[in-house]
């Protein structure tokens, strides 16, 4: 059985304009020791999905509207509130995009790391300090003993992000949720952090849920990938299948829009015209239809079906797609010709 | 149009921008942050120069200094033969029309209390160009040039998506008819699917209006697509400069190699995997002696710590690198990790 299973999750936010269904029927699973990438653009619901796994969505204005999240068979959404701290940090740790706000500015790095170890393993001061220093060393922070006595503002952004990761990994979590952990960082620091996550995963069989908008990071890190659009998963599969044979026109559009070596310089890049629909009143049929180039090439009857019938992601299969007319190798060739 | 014969549009010669660090009881200057430290470069008319490097390398400060938003501490900037670094009064006003800027964040760089029309018209008002009616007409034409409907003229920035806002920023930059546009990370804040739209717009404007661009970015794959030449910055200096194809094929500075190796591969079957670079960028207040990159460099030898290497030619005059081992480095085939296959002469 999978370590984490998200089943038809629905999360909404009450706003003045009405209920926004940020996550609208998302199903995913993360296998033991594997990495699932969750990719999509701002507002697609990927971060809300991730936060829901730790029940971190603020209620109100947020509301869990339906579905279930099972972690090692415990039901997160119905669990009594006082049992959550048991899971948070110990079984599931999370690394956020912005390390500046996730560390407490008034305590030293050492104290914050010690606190985690005291709570998790009941370690005494000296032992906790030693273990913290060893972890900082392991993630490539020079002179860890000195760093322990420093405050967050004394460290660079990349350094703080590494401290956050150290904190998450000290707990030896069974699941690490990384929400855009490298987005604010430079490419060389990003490479260091990705390497670190991979190393620790290899050593301790940690499962990882990796949230990003960066297709390169997905290709680099993940075993499987789920592509989200407007609160839904539109395609899911092994990273090789999704990158080499995208079946959803949105996935294909995202991959085609990236500049990459070998593409003619200064030539027009493929784009996805239009904007994401409002989640206050999403379209009845396919949420991507209005922007879909593939849709425009269908015969009128088929095109109407996209507008009328909501394509849902089939629950099973190796490479399911939420599209009435998924792309095949020949349709892609025809359209790019 | 032969760029090889015409004089470059903009030439920077040994430009420095230092910020004093004050300390002590009297707030005396006790040192300097060398944000830009001896940069020389040239931008050809109708071409794009990419300026790449990591946070804090000085690329944004350089961009701001080149358009005189900052006054250089040392060095000269000439635009079309006129001295920009020391221009003042009317002369500076006239030069400022020729160079405009597009900023990174389309959310904070547009005044939320002004309508789109007011935002795009403002440069015309400041420079007193045309009557009010002529300005309105120009604004409409500009909005259409950047692919926005002229009927949006009375709407506010909050009514637009990120990509549309960046188009507004581009329209504002074009209002005075500049010949050079400095774009500081113009697509970094945008979603992947709209990045392409803004980049395509810039490419079209270059073709149609004959604009030159300085494209500041940390994203090397975007730079590779957009630029003709690339300058790589590290700690306030240019460490390598070359035509784009050459820089990506035969990087001659170990830092450039590390940057290239750090780009995640888009092919899941060919992951880069390795860590290209250890350590951190040193503080620009306390730059190490010798080559500033030496403490992190896999190619370092004892001589690197003795003096700062100058930017010198690598095989051809258009390719220059500030590394004493540049010829060896360029000859090394690009491995996935970017580090040399064998680490030679690694010292303490």
Task: Determine the distance in angstroms separating the CA of B327 from the nearest CA of chain A, rounded to an integer.
Answer: 24
Q: Work out the percent of chain B whose per-residue pLDDT is above 70.
A: 92
Edge-to-edge order in the sheet of strand A224-229: A92-95, A175-179, A207-212, A35-39, A224-229, A232-238
| Confidence at residue A137, expressed as pLDDT on a 0 to 100 scale | 80
| CA nearest to B233, candidates B21, B19, B41, B11 | B41
Contacts of B204 in chain A (CB under 8 A): 268
Domain boundary among B249, B280, B311: B249
> Taking 60 as the threshold, does the pLDDT of residue B273 lie above it?
yes
Q: Is B143 on the interface with A (CB under 8 A)?
A: no
Q: Is B266 on the interface with A (CB under 8 A)?
A: yes
> Taking 90 as the threshold, does the pLDDT of residue A210 lie above it?
yes
Q: Each residue of B292-342: pLDDT tens digit?
A: 999 889 899 999 999 999 999 999 999 999 999 999 999 988 764 444 433
Contacts of B200 in chain A (CB under 8 A): 268-269, 271
Place of tokens 């500030």: B322
The total of structural domains in chain B comes to 2
Compare B106 and A19 and report the one with higher pLDDT.
Answer: A19
Asked casually if ipTM beats, i.e. exceeds, 0.90, the reply is no
Does the residue B328 lie in any domain? yes
Q: Each residue of B189-208: pLDDT tens digit?
A: 888 878 888 899 999 999 99
Does the residue B294 lie in any domain? yes
Chain mean pLDDT for chain B: 87
Backbone angles phi, psi at A287, to 5 degrees: -75, -15
Task: Note if the bond before A60 is cis, omega within 30 degrees.
Answer: yes
Does the residue B281 lie in any domain? no
User: Do B119 and B51 reside in the same domain of the chain?
Assistant: yes
Cα gap B247→B261, rounded to integer Å: 13
Q: How confident is the model at residue A235 (pLDDT cuts 50, 70, 90)?
A: very high
Which of A:118-147 have CB within 8 Å of B? 140, 142
Q: Is A194 on the interface with B (CB under 8 A)?
A: yes
Cβ A187–B199 below 8 Å, yes or no? Answer: no
Q: Are B102 and B165 in contact (CB under 8 A)?
A: no
Q: Is B174 on the interface with A (CB under 8 A)?
A: no
Cα gap B101→A109, rounded to integer Å: 40
The arithmetic mean of pLDDT across residues A3-24, rounded, is 92
> Taking 80 as the threshold, does the pLDDT of residue B5 lie above it?
no
User: Do B204 and B346 reside in the same domain of the chain?
Assistant: no
Question: b/e string for A17-36 if b means 16 or more Cβ within 10 A?
Answer: eeebbbbbbbbbbbeeebbb
The CATH number of residue B239's host domain is 3.40.50.300
Cα gap A228→A39, rounded to integer Å: 6
Best A162, A266, A278, A291 residue to mutate vs chain B (most B CBs within 10 Å): A266
Size of interface A-B (CB pairs under 8 A): 122
Q: Is A54 on the interface with B (CB under 8 A)?
A: no
| Confidence at residue B348, expressed as pLDDT on a 0 to 100 scale | 33
The arithmetic mean of pLDDT across residues B243-250, rounded, is 94
Q: How confident is the model at residue B178 (pLDDT cuts 50, 70, 90)?
A: very high
Does the residue B280 lie in any domain? no
> Taking 80 as the threshold, does the pLDDT of residue B277 lie above it?
no
Best A224, A255, A259, A261 residue to mutate vs chain B (most B CBs within 10 Å): A259
The arithmetic mean of pLDDT across residues A43-66, rounded, is 90
Cβ B259–A260 below 8 Å, yes or no? Answer: no
Q: Is A257 on the interface with B (CB under 8 A)?
A: yes
Cβ A159–B264 below 8 Å, yes or no? Answer: no
Query: What is the pTM assigned to this prediction?
Result: 0.85
Query: Smallest Cβ distance to A188: which of B191, B273, B277?
Result: B277
Query: Smallest Cβ distance to A259: which of B221, B268, B278?
Result: B221
Contacts of B161 in chain A (CB under 8 A): 275
User: Do B187 and B201 reside in the same domain of the chain?
Assistant: yes
User: Do B244 and B256 reside in the same domain of the chain?
Assistant: no
Cβ A140–B271 below 8 Å, yes or no? Answer: no
> Taking 70 as the threshold, does the pLDDT of residue A260 lie above it?
yes
What does the H/E/C string look like for chain A? CCCEEEEEEEEEEEECCEEEEEEEEEEEEECCCCEEEEECCCCCCHHHHHHHHCCCCCCCCEEEEEEEEEECCEEHHHCCHHHHHHHECCCEEEECCCHHHHCCCCCCHHHHHHHHHHHHHCCCHHHHHHHHHHHHHHCCCCCHHHHHCCCHHHCCHHHHHHHHHHHHHHCCCCEEEEECCCCCCCHHHHHHHHHHHHHHHHHHCCEEEEEECCHHHHHHHCCEEEEEECCEEEEEEEHHHHHHCCCCHHHHHHHHCCCCCCCCCCCCCCCCCCCCCCCCCCCCCCCCHHHCHHHHCCCHHHHHHHHHCCCCCCCCCCCCECCCCCCCHHHHHHHHC
User: Do B231 and B343 reside in the same domain of the chain?
Assistant: no
Best B275, B296, B337 residue to mutate vs chain A (most A CBs within 10 Å): B275
Q: Are A254 and A215 in contact (CB under 8 A)?
A: yes
Cα gap A121→A203, rounded to integer Å: 19
The sign of the CA dihedral B188, B193, B199, B202 is: negative
| Confidence at residue B335, expressed as pLDDT on a 0 to 100 scale | 63
Q: Work out the percent of chain B whose per-residue pLDDT is above 90.
A: 55
Place of tokens 């020791």: A33
Question: Going by DSSP bridges, is the β-strand pair A18-30/A74-75 parallel, antiparallel, or unpaired?
Answer: unpaired
Q: Each residue of B127-172: pLDDT tens digit?
A: 999 999 999 999 999 999 898 888 889 999 988 888 889 999 999 9
Cβ B262–A190 below 8 Å, yes or no? Answer: yes
User: Do B255 and B242 reside in the same domain of the chain?
Assistant: no
User: Do B306 and B178 reside in the same domain of the chain?
Assistant: no
Query: Smallest Cβ distance to B193: which of A140, A198, A253?
Result: A253
User: Do B236 and B265 reside in the same domain of the chain?
Assistant: no
> Taking 90 as the threshold, does the pLDDT of residue B10 lie above it?
yes
User: Do B222 and B256 reside in the same domain of the chain?
Assistant: no
Q: Is A158 on the interface with B (CB under 8 A)?
A: yes
Cβ A259–B224 below 8 Å, yes or no? Answer: yes
The sign of the CA dihedral A114, A115, A119, A124 is: positive
Q: Is A263 on the interface with B (CB under 8 A)?
A: yes
User: Do B242 and B258 reside in the same domain of the chain?
Assistant: no
Does the residue B93 lie in any domain? yes
| Confidence at residue B233, expressed as pLDDT on a 0 to 100 scale | 95
Cα gap B22→A205, rounded to integer Å: 50
Q: Is B283 on the interface with A (CB under 8 A)?
A: no
Contacts of A197 in chain B (CB under 8 A): none
Structural domain containing residue B318: 251-272+290-348
User: Do B235 and B256 reside in the same domain of the chain?
Assistant: no
The residue ranges of every structural domain in chain A are 99-172, 246-336
Identify the helix (H) or strand (E) that includes residue B313: strand B312-314
User: Do B199 and B91 reside in the same domain of the chain?
Assistant: yes
Dihedral angle computed from the Cα positions of residues B332, B338, B340 and B345, in that order, rounded to the nearest 10 degrees: 120
């Amino acid at each position: 059985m999978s370590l984490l299973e998200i089943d038809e999750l629905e999360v909404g936010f009450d706003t003045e304009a009405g209920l926004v269904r940020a996550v609208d029927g998302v199903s995913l699973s993360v296998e033991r020791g594997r990495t699932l990438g969750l990719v999509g653009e701002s507002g697609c619901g990927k971060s809300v999905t991730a936060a829901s796994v730790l029940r971190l969505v603020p209620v109100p204005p947020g509301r869990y509207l339906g579905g279930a999240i099972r972690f090692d068979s415990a039901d997160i959404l119905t669990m009594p509130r006082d049992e959550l701290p048991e899971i948070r940090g110990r079984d599931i740790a999370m690394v956020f995009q912005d390390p500046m706000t996730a560390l407490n500015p008034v305590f030293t790095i050492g104290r914050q790391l010690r606190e985690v170890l005291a709570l998790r393993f009941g370690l005494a001061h000296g032992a906790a300090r030693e273990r913290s220093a060893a972890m900082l060393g392991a993630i490539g922070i020079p002179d860890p003993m000195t760093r322990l006595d420093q405050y967050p503002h004394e460290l660079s952004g990349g350094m703080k992000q590494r401290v956050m990761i150290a904190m998450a990994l000290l707990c030896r979590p069974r699941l690490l949720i990384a929400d855009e952990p490298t987005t604010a960082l430079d490419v060389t620091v990003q490479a260091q952090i990705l390497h670190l996550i991979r190393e620790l995963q290899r050593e301790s069989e940690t499962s990882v849920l990796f949230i990003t908008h960066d297709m390169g990071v997905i290709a680099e890190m993940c075993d499987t990938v789920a592509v989200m659009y407007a609160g839904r998963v539109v395609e899911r599969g092994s990273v090789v299948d999704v990158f080499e044979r995208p079946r959803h026109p949105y996935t294909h559009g995202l991959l085609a829009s990236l500049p990459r070596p070998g593409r003619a310089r200064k030539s027009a890049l493929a784009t996805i015209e239009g904007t994401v629909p409002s989640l206050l009143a999403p379209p009845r049929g396919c949420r991507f239809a209005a922007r879909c180039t593939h849709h425009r090439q269908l015969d009128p009857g088929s095109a109407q079906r996209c507008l009328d019938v909501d394509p849902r992601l089939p629950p099973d299969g190796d490479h399911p797609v939420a599209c009435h007319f998924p792309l095949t190798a020949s349709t892609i060739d025809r359209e790019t010709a | 149009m032969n760029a090889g014969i015409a004089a470059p549009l903009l030439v920077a010669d040994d430009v420095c921008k230092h910020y004093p660090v004050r300390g002590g009881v009297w707030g005396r200057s006790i040192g300097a942050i060398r944000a830009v430290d001896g940069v020389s470069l040239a931008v050809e008319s109708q071409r794009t120069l990419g300026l790449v490097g990591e946070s804090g390398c000085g690329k944004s400060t350089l961009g701001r200094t080149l358009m005189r938003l900052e006054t250089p501490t040392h060095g000269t900037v000439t635009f079309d033969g006129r001295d920009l670094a020391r221009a003042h009064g009317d002369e500076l006003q006239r030069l400022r029309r020729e160079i405009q800027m597009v900023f990174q964040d389309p959310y904070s760089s547009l005044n939320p209390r002004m309508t789109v029309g007011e935002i795009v018209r403002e440069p015309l008002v400041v420079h007193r160009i045309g009557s009010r009616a002529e300005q309105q007409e120009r604004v409409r034409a500009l909005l259409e040039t950047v692919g926005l409907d002229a009927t949006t003229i009375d709407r506010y920035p909050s009514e637009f998506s990120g990509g549309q806002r960046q188009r507004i920023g581009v329209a504002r930059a074009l209002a005075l008819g500049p010949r050079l546009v400095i774009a500081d990370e113009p697509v970094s804040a945008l979603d992947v699917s709209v990045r392409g739209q803004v980049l395509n717009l810039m490419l079209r404007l270059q073709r149609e209006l004959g604009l030159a661009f300085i494209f500041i970015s940390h994203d090397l794959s975007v730079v590779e697509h957009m630029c003709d030449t690339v300058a790589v910055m590290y700690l306030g200096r240019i460490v390598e400069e070359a035509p784009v194809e050459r820089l990506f094929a035969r990087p001659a500075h170990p830092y450039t190699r590390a940057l290239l190796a750090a780009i995640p591969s888009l092919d899941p079957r060919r992951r880069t995997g390795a860590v290209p670079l250890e350590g951190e960028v040193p503080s620009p207040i306390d730059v190490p002696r010798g080559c500033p990159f030496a403490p992190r460099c896999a190619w370092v030898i004892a001589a690197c710590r003795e003096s700062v290497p100058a930017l010198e030619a690598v095989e051809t005059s258009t390719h220059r690198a500030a590394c004493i081992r540049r010829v060896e480095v360029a000859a090394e085939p690009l491995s996935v990790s970017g580090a040399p296959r064998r680490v030679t002469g690694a010292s303490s």
